Amino acid sequence: MSHANATLTPRTRLRLALLIVEHKWTYSAAAKMFMVSPRTAKKWADRYRLEGEAGMADRSSRPSHCPQKTPTSVVRQIVRLRWRHRLGPAQIAGRLGLPASTVHAVLVRCRINRLSRIDRVTGEPLRRYEHDHPGSLIHVDVTKFANIPDGGGWRYVGPQQGRKNKEATAQRTGDRGKAYRPRIGTAFVHTVIDDHSRVAYAEICTDEKAATAIGVLQRAVAWFADHGVTVERVLSDNGSAYRSYAWRDACAELAIAPKRTRPYRPQTNGKIERFHRTLGDGWAYARFYDSTTEQRNTALPDWLHFYNHHRVHTAIGGQPPVTRLTNVPGHHT
């Protein structure tokens, strides 16, 4: 496409060429009429004689031969240093004796100019996956949040006041740990997220034992079924609850195939790990809960509804997760 300041467009080039070739105008006369040089008029006339009207189209200005192009062997060295050592353009340029601008241009061409596109552990380009329909795979995990002491936690009132609040709560409840330290307890949030739609289900429990995890799975499967989704597979980490025979038997009763991530490889279950961060930012630490942990727990169902039905998700095209459940009852009515 011609640029904004181009004197000749493809249609105008054709008019110029026709005046010279068909109507026998001189190059100077035609060039004067269209306010270009005679050399330019001759170029388009010659191209019209050779290619006809198709020759008036724009062509790439890229040269057919580039002697200064970075050699393939050097490109491979740059890519290898980027992948294996996660070095920036300046560091790679220092090692290879190249200008940093050259290294950056190579990284851009290879689409590895951003470290976020490279796996932190292996140094390889990220390979993202997504199952093709809801229920094909769900991710399960447990995240922990400390209970809130009377008067609020340290994130809002500060470390000093937070310790005082913990001590006051321990005096009220009599719950002490080792060395008589105040203990306020932990909320175990069992989370379930659908791989395709990112629709989430969560429950707050008092432990992360197998029996508790199985109960959450059973209720989550029923919840998804109410939304028209049949769960086929479940992916978990290698926690004791998910390695138990009880978990295996529960999955068999539900006709679900259990799968586990590779040890020390949380990236495989990355969707739910990222959801935990969203859960903390949007619910657990979103505002000041000054009374008890129950105040925070009560806010979870409303936040989950907001997440599933109203909060846009960048990984699914800026739409709420529920929009991918095409068979939600009443969704198309």
* Residue 158 domain-assigned (yes or no): no
Sign for the CA dihedral angle at 244, 249, 250, 251 comes to positive
249 and 107 housed in the same domain: no
pLDDT-above-90 percentage for the chain: 51
Q: What is the pLDDT of residue 112?
A: 84
What are the pLDDT digits (tens) for 245-258? 999 999 999 999 99
- pLDDT > 90? residue 182: no
Selected residue with higher pLDDT from 164 and 132: 132
Retrieve residue 280's tokens: 């903390």
What digits encode the pLDDT tens for the residues 5-43? 677 888 999 999 999 999 999 999 999 999 999 999 999
Which residue pairs from 316-322 have beta carbons closer than 8 angstroms and sit at least 24 positions apart in sequence? 316/197, 316/198, 321/194, 321/197, 321/198, 321/199, 321/200, 322/197, 322/199
CA torsion through residues 311, 316, 319, 324, sign: negative
Do 286 and 212 share a structural domain? yes
Q: 193 with 200: CB under 8 angstroms? A: yes
Same domain, 308 and 217: yes
The reply to whether 125 falls in a domain is no
74 touches 103 (CB < 8 A): no
pLDDT at 314: 83
CB 146 within 8 A of CB 166: no
CB of 222 closer than 8 Å to CB of 192: no
Is residue 204 one of the residues assigned to a domain?
yes
**Cα(285)–Cα(224) distance, rounded to whole angstroms?**
27
Query: What pLDDT digit, counting tens, does each position of 300-331 carry?
Result: 999 999 999 999 888 888 889 999 886 555 54
SS (H, E, C) 209-272: CHHHHHHHHHHHHHHHHHCCCCCCEEEECCCHHHHCHHHHHHHHHCCCEEEECCCCCHHHHHHH
Q: In this predicted model, what pLDDT tens digit does every residue of 254-303 receive, in sequence order?
A: 999 999 998 877 778 889 999 999 998 889 888 777 667 778 888 999 99
Q: Are residues 271 and 143 in the same domain?
A: yes
Quote the crossing angle between the two packed helices 100-109 and 89-96, to the nearest 10°: 120
Higher-pLDDT residue of 118 and 211 is: 211
63 located within any domain: no
What does the alpha-carbon distance between residue 167 and residue 176 come to, in Å, rounded to a whole number?
Answer: 10
Domain assignment of residue 329, yes or no: no
AA identity, residue 23: H
**Do both 143 and 255 map to the same domain?**
yes
Residue 153 falls inside a structural domain: no
Number of domains present in the structure of the chain: 3
188, two tokens: 């175990």
Distance CA 242, CA 209 (A): 9
Q: Residue 191 belongs to what domain range?
A: 138-147+185-324
Residues 18 and 109 in one domain: no
What's the pTM value of the predicted model, to 2 decimals?
A: 0.61
Residue 163 is assigned to a structural domain of this protein? no
Q: Which of 131-135, 153-157, 287-291 has the highest mean pLDDT?
A: 131-135
pLDDT band at 242 (very low <50, low <70, confident <90, very high): very high
Indicate if 257 and 211 belong to the same structural domain. Answer: yes
What does the mean pLDDT of the chain come to? 85
Together in a domain, 111 and 189: no
CA–CA separation, 49 and 26 (whole Å):
15
Spell out the alpha helix ranges (H) of the chain: 10-21, 27-34, 38-51, 72-85, 89-96, 100-109, 154-157, 159-173, 210-226, 240-243, 245-253, 270-279, 293-309
Over residues 194-222, the mean pLDDT reads 94
| Residue 142 sits in the same domain as residue 101 | no
pLDDT beyond 50 at 332:
no
pLDDT band at 161 (very low <50, low <70, confident <90, very high): confident
Alpha-carbon gap, residue 275 to 197, rounded angstroms: 13
Query: pLDDT category, 149, cuts 50, 70, 90?
Result: confident
Statement to judge: residues 93 and 192 lie in one domain? no
Residue 162 scores a pLDDT above 80: no
Domain assignment of residue 228, yes or no = yes
Spatial contact of 147 and 293, defined as CB atoms under 8 Å apart:
yes
| CATH at 231 | 3.30.420.10
- Using 50, 70 and 90 to split pLDDT, how confident is the model at 154? low
